Amino acid sequence: MSVRILVVDDEEDIVDLISYNLEKEGFTVIKAYNGEKAIELLKTGKPKLVILDLMLPGINGLEICRLMRKNPGMESLPIIMLTAKGDEVDRILGLEMGADDYITKPFHVRELIARVRAVLRRSEERPETDKAETFTFKGLHIDYNSYEVTVDGKNVELGPTEIKLLRFLTRHPGRVYSRDQLLDYVWGDEAFVEPRTVDVHISRLRAEIEKDKNKPQYVLTVRGIGYKFANIRYKDQPKIT
């Protein structure tokens, strides 16, 4: 069965162009021209990737992206943001909301196809850590059931917030999260917390698990956006059980 891709854009010519070329490459395409239809197809069409325009009538692309990342069934669904805006701020906003890649109009169709294949490949290689009971990567070992953490075989004592942060980030390696997103996912409905509080707990976490907290190898800063756990390449796949 071919990979199903949802293309969302209010310009029908753009949708038709993208759809035609994706179908030539063997993909199956479903189409939406507004945010409401996109949300409907996300629920019923079961796409494996979404090409999502930023500027849509009604529910815009950023809001759709935000809703997807809050939905447990869609939080890992790959997203390529597509927009006529080339401004750095718009690119950062898209990535902050959880987009996996970003391309601006006008674009070369071959480049878009290449990005689609790359994002799908990364998605397929991503380990299924959500189902894992343990996680091991470059000397860091986590038992998700007992909350025991070791680095190079030595026990590490973490506070409850640091443990939750590490658990969340290691279950989504390579994905960048803004401070606000981490507050949503890790702190949840707790009392109001300033976004900069995230920095404090990241610093505490690094002090315990990193060999050099000023040159971290596990929890990385993405300048201007937020934090992520290190990219896990195929040869570096963590052991998951």
The domains found in the chain, sorted by start residue, are: 4-125 (3.40.50.2300), 129-240 (1.10.10.10)
The whole-number average pLDDT for the span 7-18 is: 94
Residue 53: helix, strand or coil by DSSP?
Answer: strand
The 10s digit of each residue's pLDDT in 188-210 is 655 467 778 899 999 999 999 99
Residues 6+ apart with CB under 8 A from 231: 173, 174
Considering the chain, what is the average pLDDT of its residues?
84
pLDDT band of 173, cuts 50, 70, 90: confident
CA distances to 94, 107, 226 from 166, rounded to whole Å, are 24, 38, 14
Give the pLDDT of residue 1. Answer: 53
pLDDT number for residue 239: 45
Which pLDDT does position 238 carry in this prediction?
Answer: 44
Q: What is the pLDDT of residue 237?
A: 45
Strand residues in the chain grouped as ranges (E) = 4-8, 28-32, 49-53, 79-83, 101-104, 134-137, 140-143, 148-151, 154-156, 177-178, 219-222, 226-229, 239-240
* Residue 116, both tokens: 């689609």
Q: Distance between CA atoms of 6 and 181, rounded to whole angstroms?
A: 24
66 pLDDT more than 50: yes
- What's the DSSP call for residue 230? P
Residue 99, pLDDT > 70, answer: yes
Q: What is d(CA 178, CA 224) in angstroms, rounded to the nearest whole number?
A: 9
Three-state DSSP class for residue 81: strand
User: What is the model's pTM?
Assistant: 0.57
More confident residue, 209 or 1: 209
Instruction: Count Cα atoms within 13 angstroms, Cβ side, for 23.
Output: 12
pLDDT at 233: 58
- pLDDT at residue 234 above 90? no
Q: What is the rounded average pLDDT of the residues 64-84?
A: 83
Gap between the Cα atoms of 223 and 216, Å rounded: 14
- Cα angle, residue 121 at apex, residues 168 and 133 outer, rounded to 5°: 30
The pair phi, psi for residue 115, each rounded to 5°, is: -70, -40
Q: Work out the average pLDDT over 105-132.
A: 76
pLDDT for the residue 79: 92
- Judge whether residue 181 has pLDDT over 60: yes
| Higher pLDDT pick, 114 / 128 | 114
Token digits of residue 83:
């927009």
Residue 137 has pLDDT above 70, yes or no: yes
Average the pLDDT over 222-227 and give the result. 89
Percent of the chain with pLDDT over 70: 87
